[in-house]
Structure 1
Amino acid sequence: MPVIDAWMQHPTLRHSNHEMFESLRRWTGRGLLEEALPVELTVAALRAADVEIGLSAAWYGPQGALISNDEVAGFVAEAGGRLRGVAGADLARPMEAVRELRRAVQELGFVALRVVPWLWELPPTDRLYYPLYTECVELGVPFCTQVGHTGPRKPSETGRPIPYIDQVALDFPELTIVCGHIGYPWTTEMIAVADKHENVYIDTSAYTARRYPAALVDYLRGRGRRKVLFGTNYPMISPAQALEHLDRLELDEEARELFLSGNARRVFAL
C-alpha cells in the first residue's frame, strides 16, 4: 500500500546541527553531521518503506532560513518525483513572506506552507501569521504547523491546540490546517479541535506507530479515519521506523489506506 509522508525535511547542515536540536540528538543517539546529507539517501529511506511522496519542508526562523525554499526546490528536482516542496516564510517580514509564499506555490510548485511556532515563540494567533493564512486560502494550499510540547529547548506554550488552533480555524474557516506531532500531551484537545472544524487535520510525525496515544488510535480507527495523516519528522525518525508496528493499530483496510496516503492525497491535492 503506498505511503505519503506529510511531515519531513531533507536537512541542511544549518538545520541538523543547530544547537536547539541538541536534545533530539541526545534522544536519538545521533551526533552532528559532518557533511550534507545526499538527497539520494533520503530517497532511499523513503523507497525502503514504500513512501511514494515525502512532503519536504523549508524552515524559517528569526535568525533566517535553516532550509530555504530554493534549497527545497533543489532537493525536489534531484528526487525524481519522490519529494514535493512545502514552503517556509519569514514572519518578521509579512509582505515579503506573502510574496515568497506566492512564488513558492506558483513558480516552484510547492503544495503547502509550514510555520513552526516555537521557532518564533509566537502562537498561531499572532497577527504576523494572518496575512499568510489569507494567502494560503487564496492559493488553495494547506497551512501546516506543530502542536504539542517541543522536543527542542524552546517553550511549549505555542503548541496548544486550544486556544490557538481553535481560534485560527474560527477566524479562517476556509483554511486547511494540518497539525503535526499529534498534540501530545494535549492530544485529546487536538482531537476535539479536529472534530469541531471541518478543515483541521492531525499528522503523526515525530512518533512511531507504537507510541501513538490510545485516544489517537481509537480516533484513527473510527470517526477520525478521514482526519489523521501519516508523518515521520524524517530524518529524526525514518519511515521504516515509524511504520514498524503499524499492524498493532489493528486498522481496517479503509482506515489504513486513508491514514497512509488517502487523506494526504486529498488534503494536499497530490
Structure 2
Amino acid sequence: MPVIDAWLQHPTLRHANHEMFEPLRRWTGREAPIEAPPVEATLAELRAADVEIGLTTAWYGPQGPLISNDEVAGFVAQSGGRLRGVAGVDLTRPVEAVRELRRAVRELGFVALRVLPWLWQLPPTDRLYYPLYAACVDLGVPFCTQVGHTGPLRPSETGRPIPYIDQVALDFPELTIVCGHIGYPWTTEMIAVADKHAGVYIDTSAYTTRRYPAELVDYLRGRGRHKVLFGSNYPMITPARALEHLADLGLDEQARELFLAGNARRVFSL
C-alpha cells in the first residue's frame, strides 16, 4: 500500500547540527553529521518504507533559515517527483513573509506552509501569523504546525491545541490546519479540536506507531479515520521505523489506506 509522509526534512548542516537538536541526537543515538547527506540518502529511506511522496519542509527561525525554500526546491528537483516542498517564512516580517509564501507556492510549486511556534516562541494566535493564514486560504494550501511538547530545549506552551489551534480555526474557518507531532501530552485536546473543526487534522510525525497514545489509536480506528495523517519527522525517525508496528494498531483496510496516504492526498491536493 503506498504511503505519503506528511512531515520530513532533508537536512542541511545548519539544520542537522543546530544546538537545539542535541537532546534528539542523544535520544536517537545519532552523531552530528560532518557533511550534508545527498538527496539520494533520503530517497532510499522513503523507498524502504514504500513512501510514494514525502513532504519536505523548509525551516525558518529568528536567526534565519536553517533550510531555505530555495534549498528545498533544489532537493525536490533532484527527487524525481518523490519529494514535494513545504514552505517556511520569516514570521517577524509579515509582508515579506506573505510574498515569500506566494512565491513558494506559485513559482516553486510548494504544497503548504509550515511554521514551528516553539522556534519563534510565539503562539499561533499571535498577530504576526494572521496575514499568513489569509494567504494560505487565498492560495488554497494548508497551514502546518507543531502541537504538543517540544523535543528541542525550548518552551512547550506554544504547542497547546487549546486555546491556540482552536482559536485560529474559529478565526479562519476556511483554513486547513495540519497539526504535527500528535499533541502529546495534550492529545485528548488535539482530538477534541480536530473533531470540532472540519479543517483541522493531526499528523503522527515524531512518533513510532508503538508510541501512539491509546486515545489516538482509538480515534484512528473509528471516527477519526479521515482526520489523521502519517508523518515520520525524518531524519529524526525513518519512515520504516515509524511504521514498524503498524499491524499492531488493528486498523481495517479503509482506515489504513486513509492514514497512510488517502488523507494526505486529499488535504494537500497531491
3-state SS, counterpart of residue 226 of structure 2: coil
Q: Which amino acid aligns with 1:191?
A: I
User: Residue in 2 aligned with 1:81?
Assistant: 81
User: Residue in 1 aligned with 2:247?
Assistant: 247
3-state SS, counterpart of residue 55 of structure 1: strand
Q: Deviations over 1:16-69 (max 9, x none)?
A: 100000000000011111000110000000001000000000000000000000
User: Residue in 2 aligned with 1:180?
Assistant: 180
Q: How many residues are paired up?
A: 270
The within-5 A match list for 1:105-254 is 105-254=105-254
Q: Which amino acid aligns with 2:8?
A: M
User: Residue in 2 aligned with 1:33?
Assistant: 33
Distance 1:37 1:119 in 2: 24
Give the superposition deviation at 1:243: 0.5
Q: Deviations over 1:74-101 (max 9, x none)?
A: 0000011110000001001100000000
Q: Which runs of 4+ in 1 moved over 4 A?
A: none
* TM-score, normalised with respect to structure 1: 1.00
Distance 2:62 2:181 in 1: 22
3-state SS, counterpart of residue 14 of structure 1: helix
| 1:91 and 2:80 correspond | no
| 1:13 and 2:23 correspond | no
Q: CA RMSD, aligned part only?
A: 0.3
Where structure 1 has 5 or more consecutive residues not aligned to the other structure, the ranges are: none
Distance 1:57 1:141 in 2: 14
- Work out the percentage of aligned pairs sharing the same amino acid: 85
Q: Deviations over 1:123-173 (max 9, x none)?
A: 000000000000000000000000000000000000000000000000000
User: Residue in 2 aligned with 1:52?
Assistant: 52
Distance 1:8 1:158 in 2: 21
* TM-score, normalised with respect to structure 2: 1.00
Q: Which amino acid aligns with 1:139?
A: L
Distance 2:127 2:64 in 1: 20
Distance 1:153 1:175 in 2: 30
Give the superposition deviation at 1:233: 0.3
Where structure 2 has 5 or more consecutive residues not aligned to the other structure, the ranges are: none
User: Residue in 1 aligned with 2:71?
Assistant: 71
Q: Deviations over 1:212-255 (max 9, x none)?
A: 00000000000000000000000000000000000000100000
Distance 1:118 1:69 in 2: 20
